[in-house]
Structure 1
Amino acid sequence: MPPGQDGLGPAPLACRAPLSTDCSMQTPTSSMPQEPLNAGSEADVTQRPDGARLSTVVLSVVLALPLIWPTTASPDVVQWHLLLAFVSWGFAMAWTPSRAPLSQLLWPALGVGGLLSLVSVPLGATLGAAVAVFQWVRHGDGEVRRAVLLSLVIAALLNAVMGILQVWTPGLVQPWGLASAIPGRPVGFLRQPNHLSSLLLLGLGAWIWWVQSSDRHRDPAQRDTPATTLGLFLAVYLFLLWVVDLTGSRTGAVGTLIFSAWGLLHRGMSPRMRALVAITPLLYVLLWGVSWWMGQQGWMNFGAQAQFQQQDMSSSRFKIWHDTWVLIKDNPWTGVGWGNFNLAWTLTVLPDRPTAFFDHCHNIVLQFMVELGIPATLALLAASAWVFWHGAKRLWLARLSSDATPFAAASVALMLLLHSLLEYPLWYPYFLMVFAGAMGLWLGAQRAPEPAAPPPASSGTLAAALNASLGAAIMAGGTYAMVDYDRVGDIYRSSAQAPLAERIEHGRHSPFFAYHAEYARVTMAEQPSRDFDGFDVAMRRLIDTRLMATFAKALEEKGLHDQALYVTDRLREFRKPEDDPFLAACEEAPLEALDTPPFQCDHAKGSYTWRDFDRLLKEGRSTAR
């Protein structure tokens, strides 16, 4: 075998430093496709100039900001985090612009964003930015790739520390507004146990990469990870895994199996680390036992125990999946339309629906089916299968390499996909951008470049400038959205100076958050039928008890008595009459004793579908114009 050829590229990583697999065991070049690793994937985190390391750390902190932002603002507790994702990733793209040809970065991002903007401007902007992040990382240099993974280590560690404080000393973080709303279960800076769990597992994958990358530059005479390095690795690994344990996330428990697969497949990893990574699920179970014992001793409130002891842990999720399938069968070809799931589900007869309000069906495949239809979803699944098949081939080719970058990136992407089968993390930009970056790392530069004359220097400079402009535009868009959200948030602040009506009217003109203003406008109106045009915006987000009751009143005022009763019947299906004065009025006194019983105490005589109300909403808005 020629020196330096192992099927992974011209400079085999597995042959440069003795690991668990020596060069003699590797497949000859003639029998393995030549798909070298990208040079930037050799994430040397130790032998770089101080200035380069500082630049990487700064970039990593910037990318971590959306995941560690400590403050919130009404009405959405994580809205700052969501918008900061655009600012941070846009800044990073502008700070270290890619020199990739415009056909590989700028035009795909603008094309996807522009096309999807025909459906929804926020959707087009979000997915256009995600495509830009994917291509930026895919064609990025080593600094970009290091920063993406290092940012997850930083975010995971800080969230884990916050999680421990939330469990052990909740009073300490209460003044900061960071106390967990679920006693004994940490939520980190993301305010959700499941989101914290997923982030910590993303950080675990990045931590393996960090230590393995540093370990690759140890004394070549050593065949395995030094004891001190292994001790540091294990301490951080167990710490992050313990906080995953405390979240009580069932998704997190299943996600540990991803690391077992990593340990079994990645033969180029140092033997000790490989063994520890492979037994991650066992370590999770052992830490669970330790946490349970500490809870029994009264040393901590182990809230995750109650989560796993529920008799029917996923009844709401199974019910929402059942309801989603009902909608799919009713709308198999084109679905209910993008963003219409909540409206269709709420206004469809579903007597056994879960009592919570859902704006997503908690499964990404079902979500695509119900909103886009079965044919479009099958096309998306086929395209996804093709992408992940290529990703799997890359992992197979890299299994003997000591470079952990493709495996770390795959663990991040697969963890978020697993989470997407049970919730909807990719609807949160701070996870969507991480997913896009991870896919860029995983699929980046799979094939060796074809020999060609180098392009003129001016061409690369122009591409870098335009690609940097794209990053700046994403950052500017995120900044504008943050200012816009802050302006709309005045509606919910008692400290705001302007009258409430003026604040609501101002918020109605928001390009991104008008639904908050319209919700306040229609639900606070004395006669909601006079503001009927606002329902078309307010009811495209999340319909709750208050909004349904107000909508029924508006329909009654407009003379649509039976339609109002239909909406009221759907409200009854949520089985929360004690929480709603609108329905409680029917229980306060015998109806026969009243001269004019409340209209909501009757039942609809006709049969309607959600599309009937969709037309009413659109007509109401068009009439107001």
Structure 2
Amino acid sequence: MDVAIMLEPAKHSKEYDRWLFFFFIALLIWIPLPLASNKLWASSLLCMVSFSLTAWWLTLFSLNRVEISESLKKSLPIILLLSFAPLWAFAQSLLSSEYLGASIDRSSSLHDAALGVSFILIFCLTLLLASSKSRLKVLAYSLIFSGLFQAVYGSMMSLTGIEYSFFVPKEAYTNLATGTFINRNHLAGYLVLTLSVGIGIMISSLNTSSVSGWRAHSRRLLATLLGPKARLRVMLIIMVAGLVMTHSRMGNTAFFASLAITGVLALILGKHSTRSTIMLISSLIVIDIFVMGTFFGVDKVADRLQNTSEASETRDEVNTYTLDAIQDNLWVGSGAGTYYTNFPQYREYDAGRGFYDHAHNDYFEFASDYGVIVTGCLIAAVLLVFISALRALKSRKNTLMRGLAFSAAMAVIALAIHSTVDFNLQIPANAATFMVILALGQISLYQKNRKVKS
């Protein structure tokens, strides 16, 4: 049995980066609050803080107070692939010839370049700072509590009729849960990401040993009902209720589909999967749909799915015209962050009267802005993390590492599904949280168990 505890090496037992880690956690909790950081001032603050935290770590590194983690070393190919996007965005803001990929809105491309660098830094900081079992749990529970707050806040605003987002009255999606986000679909995306982390932690806490006798079973049942696992399960139920109350069709579909797919993969790959894992995944699907949904409107989500038609939706037309835009700048793109400027010259009347600042498809928007080469690099980076998570599910014995691997795999599948009809990765809060979870996927495979030398 893998019983080694993951702690810092003896020479770093003073944890010189402890306060840096807590500031990093504070940043992750803050990012979703100011309208998902989807305003210029909020995204600029995100860039400034992430750059500052990185400079702090580099200062500690120059003083030999911290060291580069094995997880980061193993993730260098992924970091390289991710880096192509901000580097190309920066190049687009400088180039002058349209044949070389010059941006049609250089200020937007430069802003997206800075934001892209900040996301990569968040990925790296997660790999560097989440260096022990205790820190990984603090990080995971911070994301869970953030998701819980969004679910409770969004639900209460919807149920009470006193609807504010972030200190401002809601202008859209009234009577629906949006939390501190503007768009209900993006709250749904954020809740799915944090639910993925919560479910992974829940799985890591399951008993892997078998017991015999009614007394032993009774003790385990009481521990489950009254212990930390019960509290975590209640939090997950509340978050699912908040997800349902967004009435996001693809958000709910992506959650349950990714949970089922990842559950099957975990059972197939995992040599250490137990009956408890099967029961947990089954209860999440059955109880959350048929019990919580009865009270919080899963029937309305189903109605929206059934009533969706080509006549009532313009996303198909938008995607068609976006493909035209992609073909005209196939390899180099029109410039990072320029979709809202580029799309109007391609749209026709059947795309509706609405203004589209984003494509309702992350794959198409990245291809339109960056070109297919850079988009392919980003997809490859995510696929590499997904493979790492599957490898961890198959080979790791440590329950926490297996739980984190489950979280990463589920988040990748969920966002891959949701991105076909929405633009979660254009929202800083969701993109940053996704980068953290990708880093957890790498940690689940490469972070080793180490004992402190006495």
When the two structures are superposed, what TM-score results if normalisation uses the length of structure 2? 0.71
Mapped to 2, the partners of 1:250 and 1:256 lie a distance apart of: 11
Identity %: 18
Equivalent in the alignment of 1:200: 191
Q: 1:386 to 1:155 in 2, by over 3 A?
A: closer
Retained in 2: the 8 A contact 1:65–1:84? no
Retained in 1: the 8 A contact 2:150–2:180? yes
Is 1:100 the counterpart of 2:91? The answer is no
Displacement of 1:210: 3.9
* 1:206-605 alignment, distance < 5 Å: 206-213=197-204, 226-229=224-227, 230-254=229-253, 255-264=255-264, 265=266, 268=272, 271-272=275-276, 274-286=278-290, 287-292=292-297, 307-308=304-305, 310-312=307-309, 315-348=313-346, 350-374=348-372, 377-378=375-376, 381-382=379-380, 384-398=382-396, 401=399, 403=401, 404-444=403-443, 446-447=445-446
Q: 1:59 to 1:124 in 2, by over 3 A?
A: closer
Mapped to 2, the partners of 1:445 and 1:161 lie a distance apart of: 30
Displacement of 1:321: 0.8
Q: 1:125 aligns with which of 114, 120, 125?
A: 114
Mapped to 1, the partners of 2:245 and 2:368 lie a distance apart of: 34
Q: 1:239 to 1:447 in 2, by over 3 A?
A: closer
Displacement of 1:369: 3.0
Q: Name the aligned partner's letter for residue 339 of structure 2.
A: F
Retained in 2: the 8 A contact 1:269–1:401? no
Q: 1:86 to 1:343 in 2, by over 3 A?
A: closer
Displacement of 1:226: 2.2
Displacement of 1:239: 1.2
Q: 1:178 to 1:219 in 2, by over 3 A?
A: farther
Which runs of 5 or more structure 2 residues have no equivalent in the other structure? 9-13, 61-65, 93-108, 449-454
Normalized per residue, which structure has more helix? 2
Mapped to 1, the partners of 2:447 and 2:156 lie a distance apart of: 48
Which runs of 5 or more structure 1 residues have no equivalent in the other structure? 5-11, 17-37, 42-48, 294-301, 450-625
The CA deviation string for residues 473-498 of structure 1, in whole angstroms up to 9 with x for no partner, is xxxxxxxxxxxxxxxxxxxxxxxxxx
Retained in 1: the 8 A contact 2:165–2:181? no
Q: 1:187 to 1:332 in 2, by over 3 A?
A: same
Corresponding pairs, count: 397
Q: 1:175 to 1:87 in 2, by over 3 A?
A: closer
Q: 2:28 aligns with which of 48, 63, 69?
A: 63
Displacement of 1:410: 3.0
Q: 1:95 to 1:149 in 2, by over 3 A?
A: farther
Mapped to 1, the partners of 2:166 and 2:43 lie a distance apart of: 23
Mapped to 2, the partners of 1:128 and 1:77 lie a distance apart of: 16
The CA deviation string for residues 421-467 of structure 1, in whole angstroms up to 9 with x for no partner, is 22222222222222222111102374588xxxxxxxxxxxxxxxxxx
More displaced stretch, 210-219 vs 249-258? 210-219
Mapped to 1, the partners of 2:210 and 2:242 lie a distance apart of: 34
Higher relative contact order (CA 8 A, sep 6+): 2
Decide which structure has the larger Cα Rg and report it.
Answer: 1
Retained in 2: the 8 A contact 1:60–1:150? no
Displacement of 1:191: 2.3
RMSD value, Cα:
4.5
Displacement of 1:219: 12
Mapped to 1, the partners of 2:319 and 2:84 lie a distance apart of: 33
Mapped to 2, the partners of 1:168 and 1:174 lie a distance apart of: 14
Displacement of 1:375: 5.2
